[in-house]
Amino acid sequence: MDKVKVRFAPSPTGPLHIGGARSALFNYLYALNQGGELVLRIEDTDLERSKREYEEEIIDSLKWLGITWNEGIGAGGENGPYRQTERLDIYSKYVQQLLDSGQAYYCYCTEEELEDERQALMAKGEMPRYMGKCRNLSDAEREERQKQGIRPTVRFKVPENKEYVVDDMVRGQVSFGSDNIGDFIIVKSDGIPTYNFAVVIDDTLMGITHVVRAEEHLSNTPRQLMLYDALGFSHPRFAHISLILGSDRQKMSKRHGATSLIQYREKGYLPEAMFNFLAFMGWSPEGEEQILSPEQIIASFSMNRVAKSPAVFDLDKLNWLNQQYIKQKDIDELRVLLKPFLDKSIYRAELDKLDDARFNILMQAVHDRLVCLGDIDQVLAIFFQEVEYEEEAVEALKGEEVVKVLDLFCAELPEPEEIDQIKQYLKEVVKKSGLKGKNVYMPLRAALTGQLHGMDMPYLILIWGRDECIRRINRAKTIVSD
Ligand code: GLU
């Protein structure tokens, strides 16, 4: 068999969405698993909606995710150009071939005529489709319309009464009758080819062996098969991967929160977590393991294990994965990753006051608590915000012997320098109090933080320093005496 060659062919009409990223990833995984290659092609034939900024954003997102390609935009190759609007000359040769062989024709129908036809068919309960008005125009009729200055489209003559079977690697055999498909446009009146036409030419000339793409394109595939046949090309194999649904099982949309990869990046999801998460959206390896490296995923990826049913976007799972990947980082790595978030932190001024040792301790403190890097201010709040006493903390402060505990804590509190030193000091306070550990730690935590749960106290004490601890305790005492 030929070496596997797949492509990711985004339309640069918006940022890279979760669905697009998943398609790109499955192409990448399949290519690498098969020892094949990936091409990046830009399908920008929608002139109005396509933008260079989006193309750049898509490329940035792919790179961020860790997807690399062997050919195409940014990688070069022998089959370029790789942007469809730069391939117009190539397409026109094949359009001419279809016109010359009578498999395509000029269509002069106006928007209104087409709309009237649609309405009439729908009124009869029939599938709206082009019924071939311009299929058999005489030369004279054509000239007449040309003279009127109408700029024609080019339509492909759909073979009548034929069955087209897509032998899909994910969905199995799916057949389409040609009679439900009207002669479709392959070149728009502005001379730009349509997606269905350009994709066939490009996939052929670029030597694509497998087309792995979103399920929404399955219904386009019979049209593409017709074009492959008409042009005398053999067609690649197809794999249509299922839709992505939101947690309410509706098609994923903005309603479900962030949909573009950039948004996840900005919130501080790690690319490794996203890679892992997206790979498992519609595919699963054998076994129960949920956290796999790109190498492991590549090694076990197979189309046989790609699900036909829709994938559901499970934000809790992504959060869980991201937290696991953050935990795997060491403190130096975490510092680097957090830098852009800390630069924008509302606690910037407080952070600047910390010496390096304390800053590192702070990093250790937040390490296990971050779901995503963008949560950093939320996790830091306990360190830098004025105490707000929760009701249960107020209750705890009203217990017996609370004042004694608070006084004992303050009595010989040293300037904290190390976590172990603080742990030791707290143990001594417990000992001196003669109380159970819980009866010391709970009121202390309530007094210092206003809460009964949360960040380990030694971290807080170390970052605050002696004076701030005593200030907090004194403030809490006013509640105890209320
Ligand atoms: N440009 C198409 C899209 O972004 C890709 C279609 C294909 O992969 O054939 O949906």
Q: For ligand 1, pick from 22, 217, 240 the residue to mutate: most ligand atoms within 8 Å of CB.
A: 217
| Ligand 1 centroid – CA 284 distance (Å) | 24
Residue that the structure tokens 């010359």 belong to: 100
At 405-447, the pLDDT tens digits run 999 999 999 999 999 999 999 999 999 999 999 999 999 999 9
Q: What is the pLDDT of residue 1?
A: 67
Using the atom order of ligand 1, give the atom closest to the CA of residue 43.
Answer: 1
Which of 5, 8, 11 to mutate to test ligand 1, by most ligand atoms within 8 A of the CB atom? 11
Mutating to test ligand 1, I would choose from 213, 220, 243 the residue with most ligand atoms within 8 A of its C-beta, which is 213
pLDDT digits (tens, 9 = 90+) for 281-318: 999 999 999 999 999 999 999 999 999 999 999 999 99
Cite the DSSP H helix spans in 125-194: 139-147
Q: What is the pLDDT of residue 144?
A: 93
Residues in the chain: 482
- CB of 218 closer than 8 Å to CB of 175: no
**Which entry of 254, 308, 317, 353 is annotated as an active-site residue?**
254
Residues in the ligand 1 pocket, defined by CB under 6 Å? 9-11, 43, 199, 213, 217
Q: Do residues 4 and 39 lie in contact, with contact meaning Cβ atoms separated by under 8 Å?
A: no
Question: What spacing in Å lies between the alpha carbon of 416 and ligand 1's midpoint?
Answer: 60
The answer to whether the CB of 432 falls within 8 A of the CB of 408 is: yes
d(CA 88, CA 80): 12
Q: What residue has token string 């918006």?
A: 14
Please tell me whether the peptide bond between 81 and the residue prior to it is cis, using omega within 30 degrees of 0.
Answer: yes
Ligand 1 atom with the shortest distance to the CA of 203 = 9
Digits of tens for pLDDT over the chain (482 positions)? 689 999 999 999 999 999 999 999 999 999 999 999 999 999 999 999 999 999 999 999 999 999 999 999 999 999 999 999 999 999 999 999 999 999 999 999 999 999 999 999 999 999 899 999 999 999 999 999 999 999 999 999 999 999 999 999 999 999 999 999 999 999 999 999 999 999 999 999 999 999 999 999 999 999 999 999 999 999 999 999 999 998 888 888 777 778 899 999 999 999 999 999 999 999 999 999 999 999 999 999 999 999 999 999 999 999 999 999 999 999 999 999 999 999 999 999 999 999 999 999 999 999 999 999 999 999 999 999 999 999 999 999 998 899 999 999 999 999 999 999 999 999 999 999 999 999 999 999 999 999 999 999 999 999 999 999 999 999 999 887 66
Q: Which atom of ligand 1 is nearest to the CA of 10?
A: 4
Measured between alpha carbons, how far is 7 from 54 in angstroms, rounded to an integer?
18
Is 317 exposed, middle or buried (CB count within 10 Å of its CB: 0-12, 13-18, 19+)? middle
Residue 139, C-beta contacts closer than 8 angstroms, at least 6 positions apart:
none
Residue 228 identity: Y
Secondary element (H or E) of residue 211: strand 210-214
Checking 50-54 for CB contacts under 8 A at 24+ apart, the result is: 50/11, 50/12, 50/13, 50/85, 51/12, 51/13, 52/12, 54/12, 54/13, 54/14, 54/15
pLDDT value of residue 247: 84
Per the annotation, the verdict on 353 as an active-site residue is no
Which atom belonging to ligand 1 lies closest to the Cα atom of 8?
8
Ligand 1 pocket test, candidate residues 43, 200, 201, most atoms within 8 A of CB: 43
Strand 37-40 and strand 71-72: the pairing is parallel
11 CA from centroid of ligand 1 (Å): 6
- The protein residue whose alpha carbon is closest to atom 6 in ligand 1 is 9
Residue 299: its pLDDT value, please?
97
Q: Which long-range contacts (CB under 8 A, 24 or more apart) does 439-446 make?
A: 439/399, 439/401, 439/405, 440/405, 442/396, 443/396, 443/397, 443/399, 443/402, 443/405, 443/406, 444/405, 444/406, 444/409, 445/393, 446/389, 446/392, 446/393, 446/394, 446/396, 446/397, 446/476
* CA 235 / ligand 1 centre spacing (Å): 16
- Residue 469 CA to ligand 1 center (angstroms) comes to 60
Distance 220 CA to ligand 1 centre (A): 10
Ligand 1 center–CA 274 separation, angstroms = 22
